[in-house]
């Protein structure tokens, strides 16, 4: 394994575990360097080195990140927040030209993930079962009349994350109020089923899915998995493999999937480390190691399903105290 395998993690926030895992895997061969726009982002202080940077919306932000990469011999860069993923994907060539590999899918794939209606259209047109989704409320009202869908339904932004501005509604009046109040909304059918999460790694070199960790979500908090239990189902693994190959993903993705009766239904895809990934790592699904292998020019072996069922994850609060 090459020395100086330094990795930069952008917008680290409260994702201390991700920093810790990379540090563990890079021991003796490289450093974890972290950035955030706030000096009160606790994950900064778990990194080997950190930088407090401007907000990504500020002018010159990208130049600052590129200079950090150059000055610190960064071999790979990844971000832990959605808005930055599009920026990384769009500017991938600028990073590659200085020897830094963004661990990210192509820009059009990132944009597909962030547009819930486009995701729905892709799923249905490619033969995958999806949650019924409407962008025009008139079409939804017609399907209600035709008894193709019924209340309650969810109304959410076309683009959004962390369960922000999601409303469960029970009537046409409520739909009208929300559509008057906000732009760019979708209506989604309410799925009364079991919710699963999947942490998936698609090899950056071969394009093959090489790790899939699936868990049943027991409790959610602010859009993230709070408690979960590992499960294994070949049917689910097969669905995930087919989907990620069809889209053309690279790197780490986090998927939300529902099971209704005997059918799995893909709900959303986040093309980054999900908040529930620590469950996978602690169960032996070592995606940081796979990333390190890739940036050192090695293709990963297929390890899909290499973990035990019945492993529970329970999140709890921890504190980081520092003195200026």
Residue range 40-66: mean pLDDT, rounded: 97
What is the C-alpha to C-alpha distance for residues 138 and 250, in angstroms, rounded to an integer?
Answer: 37
Closest CA to 227 of 147, 296, 316: 316
What digits encode the pLDDT tens for the residues 147-177?
A: 999 999 999 999 876 556 788 999 999 999 9
Residue 286 has a pLDDT of: 98
Q: pLDDT band for 4, please (50, 70, 90 cuts).
A: confident
Instruction: Specify the CATH class of 132-189 in words.
Output: alpha beta
Strand pairing of 133-134 and 185-189?
antiparallel
Q: What percent of the chain has pLDDT over 70?
A: 97
| For the chain, the helix, strand and coil percentages under 3-state DSSP, each to the nearest 5 | 35, 25, 40
Residue range 121-148: mean pLDDT, rounded: 96
Residue range 295-313: mean pLDDT, rounded: 97
What digits encode the pLDDT tens for the residues 57-92?
A: 999 999 999 999 999 999 999 999 999 999 999 999
Give the distance from CA 80 to its chain's centroid: 8
The torsion angle over the Cα atoms of residues 114, 118, 121 and 122, rounded to 10 degrees, is -60
Residue 141 has a pLDDT of: 96
Name every residue whose Cβ is closer than 8 Å to that of residue 28 and which is 6 or more positions away in sequence. Answer: none
Instruction: Specify the CATH class of 193-314 in words.
Output: alpha beta
Q: pLDDT band for 275, please (50, 70, 90 cuts).
A: very high
Residue 192 has a pLDDT of: 87
Whether domain 6-103 has CATH 3.40.720.10: the reply is no
DSSP 106-174: -HHHHHHHH-HHHHHHHHHHTT--B--EESSHHHHHHHHHTTSS-S-EEEEESS--TTTT-EEE-SHHH
* Listed range (104-118, 181-195, 228-242, 276-290) with the worst mean pLDDT: 181-195
Domain boundaries along the sequence of the chain: 6-103, 132-189, 193-314
DSSP 46: G
Whole-structure pTM over 0.75, yes or no?
yes
Residue 264 has a pLDDT of: 97
Q: pLDDT band for 56, please (50, 70, 90 cuts).
A: very high
What digits encode the pLDDT tens for the residues 207-266?
A: 999 999 999 999 877 677 889 999 999 999 999 999 999 999 999 999 999 999 899 999
Cis amide bond preceding 313, omega within 30: no
């Amino acid at each position: 394994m090459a020395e100086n395998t330094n990795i930069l993690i952008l917008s680290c926030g409260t994702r201390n575990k991700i920093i810790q895992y990379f540090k563990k895997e890079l021991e003796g061969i490289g450093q974890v360097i972290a950035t955030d726009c706030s000096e009160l982002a606790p994950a900064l202080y778990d990194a080997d080195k950190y930088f407090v940077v401007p907000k990504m919306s500020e002018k010159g932000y990208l130049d600052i990140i590129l200079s950090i990469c150059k000055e610190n011999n960064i071999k790979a860069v990844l971000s832990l927040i959605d808005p930055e993923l599009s920026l990384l994907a769009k500017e991938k060539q600028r990073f590659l030209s200085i020897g830094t590999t963004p661990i990210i899918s192509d820009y059009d794939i990132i944009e597909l993930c962030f547009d819930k209606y486009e995701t729905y259209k892709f799923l249905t047109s490619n033969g995958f079962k999806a949650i019924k989704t409407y962008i025009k409320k008139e079409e939804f009202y017609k399907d209600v009349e035709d008894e193709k869908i019924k209340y309650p339904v969810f109304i959410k932004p076309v683009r959004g994350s962390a369960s922000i501005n999601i409303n469960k509604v029970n009537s046409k009046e409520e739909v009208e109020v929300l559509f008057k109040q906000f732009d760019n909304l979708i209506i989604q059918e309410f799925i009364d089923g079991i919710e699963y999460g999947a942490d998936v790694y698609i090899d950056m070199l071969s394009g093959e899915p090489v790790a899939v960790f699936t868990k049943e979500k027991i409790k959610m908090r602010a859009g993230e998995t709070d408690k979960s239990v590992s499960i294994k189902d070949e049917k689910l693994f097969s669905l995930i493999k087919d989907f990620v190959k069809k889209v053309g993903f690279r790197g780490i993705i986090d998927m939300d999937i529902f099971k209704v009766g005997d059918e799995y239904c893909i709900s959303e895809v986040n093309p980054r480390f999900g908040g529930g990934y620590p469950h996978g790592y602690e169960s032996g699904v070592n995606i940081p190691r796979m990333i390190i292998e890739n940036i050192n020019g090695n293709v990963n072996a297929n390890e899909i399903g290499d973990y035990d069922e019945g492993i529970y994850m329970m999140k709890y609060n921890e504190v980081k105290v520092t003195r200026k």
